[in-house]
Amino acid sequence: MENKLEHYDASDIQVLEGLEAVRKRPGMYIGTTDVKGLHHLVWEIVDNSIDEALAGFCDNIEIVINKDNSITVKDNGRGIPVDIHPKTKMSTVETVYTVLHAGGKFGGGGYKVSGGLHGVGASVVNALSSWVVVDVYKNGKIYEVKFINGGKIEEPLHVIGECEEARTGTTVTFKPDNTIFDTDIYDYETLKVRTRELAFLNKGLKLTLRDDRDDEDTQGEVFHYEGGISEYVKYLNKAKTPIHEDIIHLEGEEDGVMFEVAMQYNSGYSDSIYSFVNNINTHDGGTHEEGVRRALTRIINNYARKNNILKEKDDSLTGDDVKEGLTMIVSCKHPNPQFEGQTKGRLGNSEVRKLADNVFSEGFERFLLENPDAARIIVEKAMTASRARVAAKRARELTRRKSDLDVVNFGGKLADCKEKDPSVCEIFIVEGDSAGGSAKVGRNSMTQAILPLRGKILNVEKARLDRALSNEEIRTIITAFGTGIGDEFDLSKLRYNKIIIMTDADVDGSHIRVLLLTLFFRFFRPIVEAGHVYAAQPPLFGVKLGKNDTHYCLDEKDLDDYLNTLTETQRKNCIIQRMKGLGEMDADQLNETTMDIKTRVLRKITVEDAIAADAAFSKLMGEEVEPRRQFIEENATYSDLDV
Ligand code: 1YM
């Protein structure tokens, strides 16, 4: 054993074995070792600071990306305890950083449940780092402990200096182990989105994010919202047009469970409802969301009936009617949450349904009484949505009739594939008739279906379902997919495993791609979430080496890299051609570059963060001009929009 570990006894060997287990199977603890896992480490440490804030002892957190891509997290909480822990005979801070499960044992109380790691975060980060330094400010002293190579103590805890008695806090710096992670480069934007979200979800807490990798002397960005989730709603509605002035913000508490909701309606047709438990996004909702939705529907119906806006003979408004154009954040802080479902994205605690219902119905009813103008606008909006829903139902029947597929086929639009097993089938949605024609010839007709689009499809960001259904191109897409739409949507009926958007690599092509993605995101989101949607990547360059030998390159960098692999004589003799649009490729070329599964390059469209994608679509496709101009400026080209 190494010298530095001499002060350890037998039980400490188990400690190291615990961290070794994390290094052997990092996926079990942080999901992945790709760029996502790399960023996950930051949140494991920040979570400890947030817990300290939730316990009422910390109001300031700083996150810094250092020059070497190590991360520093600093808080002004009580400081991790430094006294000797009887069981491990190490200090508590060393225990927290080396013993798996230490957090759960020592943490006690509070709202700790961070993302499923149950407080083992610090030791997991240590296990996956090449070095970690922890400084604790406490008792007028500065304590420090250093770890190396996945959690081995390099310098045991010792005092390195003095500080003012009143100054307390914890500062942790760690460098992810680059033998474990695919990449060691942190992305500022990724950290920023979550830092901002944490600031919205924890009102009053000040979070600062700074990037020290460039030489500029920056102060960093400060995220600090006294209005909490109200300001989150305001932020999400920035590119939309609110239809009433005030953001409705309600909160309540019972038996240590805190419940909070903020909402505002806008003139759009989609809803943006996001819920959180202990700052974790509950993607699949759960009891907190259900309580609010149930109360929202009931209270609006009651109000509409009482005020005779909804007549006796009228059907009641549905949950879908009352959520049109609604932006809402639901946040619950729970000492003992039960996460359910396959991805643990659903809150299961049944007592929360009642709390949410009570808090929301009481507060929302009062809001409607005190704000009759806003109340009328909200109810009218739901009434219009209800009428559109009935119209859409009629229009949808058109897309559902069995014979419809035949009609589509007959019209020569969809060239379907012969195979009926969806798991091997693909559909190419192709820009333009001429590329569509080549694709039909070049495809593998067993498994590849072709749907050519004529012109641009409707921007559904500005249209309701009923109008979308009156659009022929959209109807054809719905029929081809087989899933139905709206409340009839059924993912299991999807007729293709891959939906491949095939558009030109120019501005028009990008625009059509964004229109299609908007359609998929707003009306077929589960298809995107399940990873069925892809963008074909037609090459920008062809390098002709001989008569029948052409090498294709995706972009300039790809071309440079390829040319560098050639010898000088070759390089001299090859002909570089800039590829024109899809429509100008013949069937063989199209097949080789974008369709043949052996040679094509596809880009999978993922929704990493539905909230960010939602905001991006609103900005890009919505009514407001200024946010769109800003978004395009910030994102340079449409094709960079990788949602
Ligand atoms: C930059 C990372 O870890 N802050 C932090 C952690 C703890 C405390 C304060 C803390 C908690 C408690 C009592 C308690 C932790 N303590 C533990 C353990 N920032 C960061 N700030 N005193 C201080 O929960 O009772 C685990 S985390 F286990 F030692 F209590």
Residue-wise pLDDT tens digits, 532-546: 999 998 888 989 888
Question: From the CB of residue 10, how many other CB atoms can be counted at a distance below 10 Å?
Answer: 6
CA distance 512 to 458: 10
Q: Is 299 in the pocket of ligand 1 (CB under 6 A)?
A: no
pLDDT higher than threshold 70 for residue 8? no
pLDDT tops 90 at residue 487: no
- DSSP H or E run through 552: strand 549-553
Which residue has a Cα nearest atom 23 of ligand 1?
80
Give how far Cα 115 sits from Cα of 43, 118, 181, 246, 451, Å: 9, 7, 20, 33, 42
What is the amino acid identity at position 71?
A: I
136 ligand 1 Cβ < 6 A: no
Residue 113: per-residue pLDDT = 44
Q: What percent of the chain has pLDDT over 70?
A: 90
Ligand 1 centroid – CA 44 distance (Å): 13
Furthest-apart CA atoms within the chain: distance in Å: 86
Whether 504 is catalytic is yes
Ligand 1 touching residue 177 (CB < 6 A): no
Angstrom distances, CA of residue 104 to CA of 48, 81, 110, 120, 153: 12, 15, 11, 7, 22
Alpha-carbon distance of 415 to 417, in angstroms, equals 7
Q: Is the CB of 47 under 6 A from ligand 1?
A: no
- Cα–Cα dist 438/318, whole Å: 46
Whether the CB of 517 sits within 6 Å of ligand 1: no
DSSP 456: P
3-state secondary structure of 347: strand
538 phi and psi, to 5 degrees? Answer: -65, 145
Alpha carbons 258 and 279: distance in angstroms, whole number: 12
* pLDDT classification of 4: cutoffs 50, 70, 90: very low
Ligand 1 close to Cβ of residue 106 (< 6 A) = yes
Residue 477, pLDDT > 60, answer yes
Q: Is the pLDDT assigned to residue 18 strictly greater than 50?
A: yes
Catalytic (active site) residue 253: no
Catalytic residue among 431, 461, 466, 614: 431
Phi and psi of 204, rounded to 5°?
A: 90, -20
Query: For residue 401, what pLDDT band results from cuts at 50, 70 and 90?
Result: low
In order of 65, 115, 139, 321, 388, the CA distances from 144 in angstroms are 20, 28, 13, 58, 64
Distances (CA, A) of 94 to 90, 241, 477: 6, 52, 59
Task: List the strands of the sheet with 448-453, edge to edge.
Answer: 448-453, 426-431, 498-502, 533-536, 602-604
User: Which ligand 1 atom is at minimum distance from the Cα of 74?
Assistant: 1
Atom number in ligand 1 closest to CA 122:
3
**Whether residue 126 has its Cβ less than 6 Å from ligand 1:** no
Specify whether the CB–CB gap between 269 and 464 falls below 8 A: yes
Instruction: Say yes or no: CB of residue 287 within 6 Å of ligand 1.
Output: no
For residues 385 and 391, give the distance between their C-alpha atoms in angstroms, rounded to a whole number. Answer: 10
Q: Are 278 and 337 in contact (CB under 8 A)?
A: yes
- Token duo for residue 192: 């920023």
Q: How far is the centre of ligand 1, averaged over its atoms, from the C-alpha of 48 (Å)? A: 6
d(CA 335, CA 104): 13
Q: SS3 string of 189-254?
A: HHHHHHHHHHHHHCCCCEEEEEECCCCCCCCCEEECCCCCHHHHHHHHCCCCCECCCCCEEEEEEE
> Is 608 one of the catalytic residues?
no
According to the model, what pLDDT value does residue 547 have?
79
Ligand 1 geometric centre to CA of 50 (Å): 10
Range from 63-72, 273-282, 522-531, 543-552 carrying the lowest mean pLDDT: 543-552
Dump pLDDT digits (tens) for 261-320: 999 999 999 999 999 999 999 999 999 999 999 999 999 999 999 999 999 999 999 999
**What are the tokens at 215?**
């030489």
Cα dist from 472 to 321, 457, 477, 488, whole Å: 25, 9, 9, 19
Model's pTM, two decimal places?
Answer: 0.87
pLDDT tier, 11 (very low <50, low <70, confident <90, very high otherwise): low
Q: Which among 78, 98, 138, 195 is the best mutation to test ligand 1's pocket, defined by most ligand atoms within 8 Å of the CB?
A: 78
Judged by DSSP in three states, 118 sits in coil
User: pLDDT value at position 359?
Assistant: 98
Give me the mean pLDDT over the 473-489 stretch: 88
The reported pLDDT for the residue numbered 115 is: 45
Say if ligand 1 is within 6 A of residue 103 CB: yes
Strands of the 280-281 sheet, one edge to the other: 248-254, 257-265, 326-333, 272-277, 280-281
Residue 381 backbone zone (phi > 0: left; psi -120 to 50: alpha; other: beta): alpha
Instruction: Kindly give the pairing relationship between strand 533-536 and strand 448-453.
Output: unpaired
Q: Are strands 272-277 and 326-333 parallel, antiparallel or unpaired?
A: parallel
Condensed to tens digits (0 to 9), the pLDDT of residues 244-276 reads 999 999 999 999 999 999 999 999 999 999 999
Residues 304, 315: Cα–Cα separation, whole Å: 11
**How far lies 553's CA from each of 95, 599, 601, in Å?**
53, 11, 10
* Residue 30 near residue 124, CB atoms below 8 Å: yes
Within 401-432, residue ranges assigned H as helices are 403-410
User: What pLDDT was estimated at residue 210?
Assistant: 97
- 466 versus 505: the higher-pLDDT residue is 466
Per the annotation, the verdict on 506 as an active-site residue is yes
Question: How far is the centre of ligand 1, averaged over its atoms, from the C-alpha of 546 (Å)?
Answer: 67
- State both tokens at 323: 């959520």
Is 21's pLDDT higher than 70?
Answer: yes
d(CA 259, CA 112): 16
Q: Which numbered atom of ligand 1 lies nearest the CA of 102? A: 28
**Which of 43, 48, 124 should be mutated for ligand 1, with most atoms under 8 A from CB?**
48
Q: Which of 386-390, 453-457, 555-559 has the lowest mean pLDDT?
A: 453-457
Is 623 strand, coil or helix? Answer: coil
Please check whether residue 35 is in contact with residue 187, taking contact to mean a CB–CB distance below 8 angstroms: yes
Question: If you count them, how many residues does the chain have?
Answer: 643
Burial (0-12, 13-18, 19+ Cβ within 10 Å), 326:
buried
* pLDDT, tens only, 125-145: 999 999 999 999 999 999 999
Ligand 1 contacts CB of residue 92 (under 6 A): yes
In angstroms, the CA 383 to CA 377 distance is 10
Whole-number percent of the chain with pLDDT over 90: 66
Q: Is 587:438 a contact under the CB 8 Å cutoff?
A: yes
Q: What is the pLDDT of residue 409?
A: 55
Distance 250 CA to ligand 1 centre (A): 31
- The CB-based long-range contact list for 52-57 (8 Å cut-off, 24+ gap) reads 52/77, 52/78, 52/170, 53/77, 53/202, 53/205, 54/110, 54/111, 54/202, 54/333, 55/109, 55/110
Q: Which of 351, 506, 561, 586 is catalytic?
A: 506
Catalytic residue among 212, 419, 433, 508: 508
Q: Which of 304, 327, 269, 324 is nearest to 379 (CA)?
A: 304
Average pLDDT over residues 19-34: 94
- Residue spans of beta strands (DSSP E) within 291-406: 326-333, 339-340, 346-347
pLDDT in tens, 633-643: 766 544 434 33
| DSSP-derived secondary structure letter, 574 | -
CA distance linking residue 529 with residue 525, whole number of Å:
6
Which of 537, 531, 538, 525 lies closest to 617 in space, CA to CA?
525
**Alpha carbon of 24 to ligand 1 centroid (Å):** 27
Decide if 146 contacts 173 (C-beta within 8 A): no
